[in-house]
Amino acid sequence: MYAYFNDEIIDLRKGVIQLQNRCYTFGDGLYEVLRIIDGVPVFFEEHLNRLKKSADYFEIKIESSREIKRKVDNLIRINDFSSGELYIQLSRGTDLFREHGIKSLESIVSILTIPLRNINEDNWISGAKVVSFPDMRHGFCNHKTVNLFANVQAKSYAYSNDAYEAIMYRSDSNGKYVTEGGSSNYFFVKSNDVYTPEVDNILPGITREKTISLLQEMGENVVQKRFYFDEIKDADEIFLVSTVSKIMPVKIVDDFSFKIGEKTLKLIKRFEEMIKEYKKSRK
């Protein structure tokens, strides 16, 4: 298996660890995860757009989307990789002095193809179990930064409780409200409306965006606002969304159980169709 490290193609068995890379010393970098399906990096433009926006915000240099796409296509070909995950990391660069302050450095793009993580198929059929966990993250959660310590804790807590995902919360004067999962966004169907947390220090997920537009096409009323934990028990349907989880029904949140409803099932179908249409347009 090969990977890109800037313009070099590297044999992963030999490995590369550049010890002064600021991603390694400070977590000073950004990343994207895409699905590759039938050799097509799905929603590439949207993912690159999000990466570029954050790179500009944090003043990290980034090469053109066209150049990154050329490398991605080349890597898919060299690795003969038809299905799995694509990881793109943008590090601020190599800093020999390990000084905290931002400097203008040559950034580093690394690109890896990764086998699709092992997910129990039954999660999509019977629904996933999720458990609540406090959101202890920083104030840059609307960017996909490599600082994932708190997400790692949240997901590990979920796994050790036999759950697929965490559902994280913060608190305000009205109580606990849902932010997002360790690596997913949440939706709640209640009295015929569909609620999802507004982008308030959460990742504007690509799948979240696609889900909102599909729901609107389906004629649903999507409300983006704080959704409080005490509203969860009255939800008719709950599902989580992400690049890797796609649209996944949620069956259990802590002590409460939910049915998989019509809206979730219709959405799963529409999302698969959307991916098919995307692949067709890129072949």
Closest to ligand PMP by CB, 54 vs 243, is 243
What x/- string results for residues 156 through 195 when contact with ligand PMP is judged by CB under 6 A?
A: ------------------------x--xxx----------
Calculate the CA 127 to chain-centre distance. Answer: 19
Closest to ligand PMP by CB, 81 vs 187, is 187
Which member of 206, 215, 238, 260 binds ligand PMP (CB under 6 A)? 206
Smallest distance from ligand PMP to CB 107, Å:
20
**Alpha-carbon gap, residue 197 to 11, rounded angstroms:** 42
**Alpha-carbon gap, residue 102 to 129, rounded angstroms:** 41
Contact between 203 and ligand PMP per CB under 6 A: yes
Contact between 243 and ligand PMP per CB under 6 A: yes
Closest to ligand PMP by CB, 89 vs 184, is 184
| Interacting residues with ligand PMP between 2 and 41 (CB under 6 A) | 33
Q: Strand pairing partners for 253?
A: 130, 256
Smallest distance from ligand PMP to CB 184, Å:
5
**Alpha-carbon gap, residue 41 to 113, rounded angstroms:** 11
Of 72, 74, 85, nearest in space to 115 by CA: 85
Closest to ligand PMP by CB, 3 vs 203, is 203
Smallest distance from ligand PMP to CB 243, Å:
3
Closest to ligand PMP by CB, 86 vs 108, is 86
Closest to ligand PMP by CB, 32 vs 95, is 32
Smallest distance from ligand PMP to CB 90, Å:
15
Smallest distance from ligand PMP to CB 206, Å:
4
Positions marked active-site: 144
Contact between 128 and ligand PMP per CB under 6 A: no
User: Which residue's entry shows tokens 């690596």?
Assistant: 183
Q: Strand pairing partners for 194?
A: 189, 222
How far are the Cα atoms of 5, 102, 111, 141, 277 from residue 187, in angstroms, in the given order? 37, 37, 31, 18, 24
Smallest distance from ligand PMP to CB 255, Å:
24
Cα of first residue to Cα of last residue in the chain, in angstroms, is 24
* Chain residues that interact with ligand PMP, rule: CB under 6 A: 33, 151, 180, 183-185, 203, 205-208, 242-243
